[in-house]
């Protein structure tokens, strides 16, 4: 049962370093994108965040309105796409692009909050963006490394060495790990659905 974890966490340190560095580059790029926005775009963002915080402050957690399954399915779609891309050789660049884009999204969100509200924005990001992503991001990166490893294994065995067969065991290991990460994402989705909004409502009065 623990074999998928052993396969993903052992002898793949270079892949983990590479994928993590790619994600961090995305975070930095997303944060820098905030500085590239025009004054009009920054003003539009400021109005959007202002309305969001006012509505959240007045409506409490009900303003967010996302159900558990909406949150969970969003995470599972991202995970499933990584898994699918890992099944084909041509999907290898797509996995790396997804990891980079995930970093861009987080970096841009945090950068916008900090840019608009300085330390108050950082405080809001720490309760709204950081908690669940401390679990979501490692789960996605572990799956990405497994997907890259599986894809590279196919390239070595099928394309470079011309071998056929013998892929069932790596496939089961790869799929088993992906399913394990899906369970982790389902669990953290409950935190994101019911705990994160409460934490956001605590901090919102300081920002609005």
> For each of the chain's 208 residues, which pLDDT tens digit applies?
455 455 545 568 889 999 999 999 999 999 999 988 888 988 898 888 888 888 777 765 555 557 899 999 999 999 999 999 999 878 889 999 999 999 999 999 999 999 999 999 999 999 999 999 999 999 999 999 999 999 888 887 766 555 555 678 888 999 999 999 999 999 999 999 999 988 888 888 887 6
| Residue pointed to by tokens 């067969």 | 165
Q: With CA atoms as reference, report the closest residue to 170 among 92, 104, 87.
A: 87
Model confidence, pTM = 0.88
- Tell me if 95 sits within 8 A of 147, measured CB to CB: yes
Structural domain boundaries in the chain: 3-207
pLDDT of residue 6: 57
- Alpha-carbon distance 124 to 109, whole Å? 11
Q: How far is CA 179 from CA 18, 36, 78, 110, in A?
A: 23, 39, 13, 30
pLDDT of residue 161: 54
pLDDT of residue 53: 83
Q: With CA atoms as reference, report the closest residue to 136 among 94, 176, 193.
A: 193
pLDDT of residue 1: 47
- 153 DSSP 8-state letter: H
The first and second tokens of residue 43, run together, are: 């003003």
């Amino acid at each position: 049962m623990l074999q998928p974890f052993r396969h993903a966490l052992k002898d793949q340190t270079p892949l983990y370093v590479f994928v993590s560095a790619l994600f961090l580059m995305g975070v930095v790029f997303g944060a820098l994108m905030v500085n590239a926005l025009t004054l009009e775009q920054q003003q539009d963002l400021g109005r959007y965040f202002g309305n969001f915080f006012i509505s959240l402050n007045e409506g409490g957690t009900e303003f967010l309105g996302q159900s558990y399954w909406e949150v969970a399915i969003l995470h599972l779609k991202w995970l499933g796409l990584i898994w699918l891309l890992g099944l084909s050789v041509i999907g290898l660049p797509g996995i790396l692009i997804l990891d980079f884009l995930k970093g861009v999204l987080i970096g841009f969100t945090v950068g916008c909050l900090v840019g608009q509200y300085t330390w108050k924005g950082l405080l809001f990001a720490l309760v709204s963006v950081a908690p669940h992503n401390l679990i979501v991001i490692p789960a996605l990166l572990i799956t990405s490394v497994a997907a890259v490893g599986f894809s590279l294994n196919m390239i070595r065995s099928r394309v470079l060495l011309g071998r056929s067969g013998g892929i069932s065991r790596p496939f089961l290991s790869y799929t088993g790990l992906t399913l394990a990460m899906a369970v982790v994402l389902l669990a953290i989705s409950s935190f994101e659905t019911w705990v994160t909004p409460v934490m956001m409502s605590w901090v919102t009065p300081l920002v609005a």
